[in-house]
């Protein structure tokens, strides 16, 4: 992602060039900077603060369910990675490999972790011996490397930040329950914290994670109708345990293999927030993850008592929310535009006349509605307004999802919708990967997103080949 491009002077309209609009926003809002390493980004403080809030919410949820944080090595010996054939085959094209340490040629190549299943399995083999040692509910927050050909900040980068949960269970039933339980955690996070509805379901065999028996996904829709794989949860069965020789003594004293899950989300979430909620004026951040939830702008701050009143309000609402008081010498208009561009959910304006009236002006970033609210009980007014921002963002995203979802009953209709409209297409499928490939090739990139949990029988035949249908699939283009 090395680039000498200067920061844009203005934000391109998303209707003119959505890709350029996205780039303008991440630069102008000071979320990232380009680095001298191709495919890697510098996450600037404001962007990293969003990630910290995401991490804080999810980490608390994981710990409520009994998960513990650990840290695994950055490097994976080639012999370890090769123990699970499907897994290594799936990741080999994207791996970065270390062949020299210091000035010495390594006797065994080391892979920079693209994911950590093999490392966890190596560790689990050493610590799991009895059913009493189960379940093991581990998670790690770390960086991973996948050598991407085409990169874009947050969406696809060669190095990115994420969390990856890896758990071991006594029975297949427990592991399957864990897989779906964690998908529910992601669903709740997207809807309740990010104000984003998601389509959720099971990936097809062709699209599932390398080495998994089943992969489940949450898929939010972006402004332009493209999908983004927002988070995945995988059921591995006992395949990795057998490959790595992980066994335990069961309750009946027999030797058994444990059952494994894996699940994760990454900094790609920030890209989803930008492309789902942003507008031509910049970012629009959901309150739960916004680094600044309320910015206070003193009006005519040179006049007596204004800064003191603004500081008192900041102290009051700062007990419950993330607040910034901007008492810089920049003009009021500059401040309004700056914090609107950075997506701050609420702006609070207070000047001499407001102080006389015992009130202030509260402005929503989403609706831009201005209203007078009393200074007495201001924290409760802010709380209600932040809830309103979340609800309005969720409604708009839900309306976009509904408006951009179409049904197709035959192939001619499918191809017509794929050409004319961006968005999701619901259509029946026979279960054959050849039909998936044909659809992707004929449409220039429309792929299966998932088999949704809430399937409808739109017809009895596959939209592509006309043979008996097995599932309804949600199809779409992806980032």
SS (H, E, C) 417-443: HHHHCCCEEEEEECCCHHHHHHHHHHH
| Residue 295: Cβ-neighbour burial (10 angstroms; 0-12, 13-18, 19+) | buried
pLDDT the model gives residue 6: 35
Alpha helices in 258-305 (DSSP H): 268-277
Q: Given a cut of 50, is residue 2 above it in pLDDT?
A: no
Quote the distance between the C-alpha of residue 126 and its chain's center.
Answer: 33
158, HSE (Cβ side, Cα atoms, 13 Å): 20
Residue 90, phi then psi, degrees to nearest 5 = -70, -30
Alpha helices in 319-403 (DSSP H): 332-341, 352-357, 378-403
Per cent of the chain over pLDDT 70 is 97
Pick the CATH number of 294-386 from 1.10.150.120, 3.40.50.800, 3.90.1200.10, 1.20.810.10: 3.40.50.800
| Domain span(s) for CATH 3.30.930.10 in the chain | 18-277
| Domain span(s) for CATH 3.40.50.800 in the chain | 294-386
Residue 350, phi then psi, degrees to nearest 5 = -140, 125
Query: Got the DSSP string for 173-185?
Result: HHHHHHHHHHHHH
Q: Given a cut of 60, is residue 399 above it in pLDDT?
A: yes
405-476 placed in CATH 3.30.110.30: yes
Topology (CATH level 3) of domain 18-277: BirA Bifunctional Protein; domain 2 (3.30.930)
Residues 6+ apart with CB under 8 A from 380: none
For residue 94, whether the previous peptide bond is cis, meaning omega lies within 30 degrees of 0, is no
364 pLDDT band (50/70/90 cuts)? very high
Residues 120-166: tens digit of each pLDDT: 999 999 999 999 999 999 999 999 999 888 889 999 999 999 999 99
Residue 64, phi then psi, degrees to nearest 5 = -60, -30
pTM of the model: 0.94
């Amino acid at each position: 992602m090395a680039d000498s491009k200067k920061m844009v002077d203005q934000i391109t309209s998303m209707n003119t060039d959505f890709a350029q609009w996205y780039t303008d926003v991440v630069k102008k809002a000071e979320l990232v900077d380009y680095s001298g390493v191709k495919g890697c980004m510098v996450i600037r403080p404001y962007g990293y603060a969003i990630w910290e809030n995401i991490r804080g919410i999810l980490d608390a949820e994981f710990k409520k369910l009994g998960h513990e944080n650990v840290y695994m090595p950055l490097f994976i010996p080639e012999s370890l990675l090769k123990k699970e054939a499907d897994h290594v085959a799936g990741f080999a094209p994207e791996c970065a490999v270390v062949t020299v340490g210091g000035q010495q040629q390594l006797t065994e190549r080391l892979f920079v972790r693209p994911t950590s299943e093999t490392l966890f399995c190596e560790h689990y083999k050493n610590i799991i011996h009895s059913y009493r040692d189960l379940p093991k509910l581990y998670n790690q927050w770390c960086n991973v490397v996948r050598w991407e050909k085409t990169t874009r900040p947050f969406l696809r980068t060669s190095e990115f930040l994420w969390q990856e949960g890896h758990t071991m269970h006594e029975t297949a039933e427990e592991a399957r329950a864990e897989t779906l339980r964690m998908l529910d955690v992601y669903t709740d996070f997207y809807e309740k914290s990010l104000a984003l509805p998601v389509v959720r379901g099971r990936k097809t065999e062709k699209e599932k994670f390398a080495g998994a028996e089943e992969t489940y996904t949450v898929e939010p829709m972006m402004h332009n109708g493209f999908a983004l794989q927002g988070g995945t949860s995988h059921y591995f069965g006992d395949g990795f345990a057998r490959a790595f020789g992980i066994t335990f003594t069961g309750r009946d004293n027999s030797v058994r293999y444990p059952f494994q899950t894996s699940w994760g989300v990454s900094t790609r979430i920030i890209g989803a927030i930008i492309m789902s909620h942003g507008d031509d004026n910049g970012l629009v951040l959901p309150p739960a993850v916004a680094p600044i939830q309320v910015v206070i702008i003193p009006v005519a701050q040179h006049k007596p008592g204004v800064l003191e009143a603004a500081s008192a309000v900041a102290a009051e609402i700062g007990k419950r929310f993330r607040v910034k008081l901007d008492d810089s010498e920049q003009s009021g208009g500059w401040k309004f535009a700056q914090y609107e561009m950075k997506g701050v959910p609420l702006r609070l304006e207070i000047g001499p006349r407001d102080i006389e009236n015992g009130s202030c002006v509260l402005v929503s970033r989403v609706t831009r509605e201005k209203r007078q609210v009393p200074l007495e009980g201001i924290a409760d007014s802010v709380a209600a307004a932040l809830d309103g921002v979340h609800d309005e963002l969720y409604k708009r995203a839900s309306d976009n999802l509904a408006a951009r979802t179409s049904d197709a009953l035959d192939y001619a209709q499918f191809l017509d919708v794929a050409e004319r409209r961006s968005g999701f297409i619901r259509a029946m499928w026979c279960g054959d990967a050849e039909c998936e490939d044909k659809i992707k090739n004929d449409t220039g990139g429309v792929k299966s997103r998932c088999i949704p949990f809430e399937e409808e029988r739109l017809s009895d035949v596959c939209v592509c080949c006309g043979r008996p249908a097995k599932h309804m699939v949600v199809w779409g283009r992806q980032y």
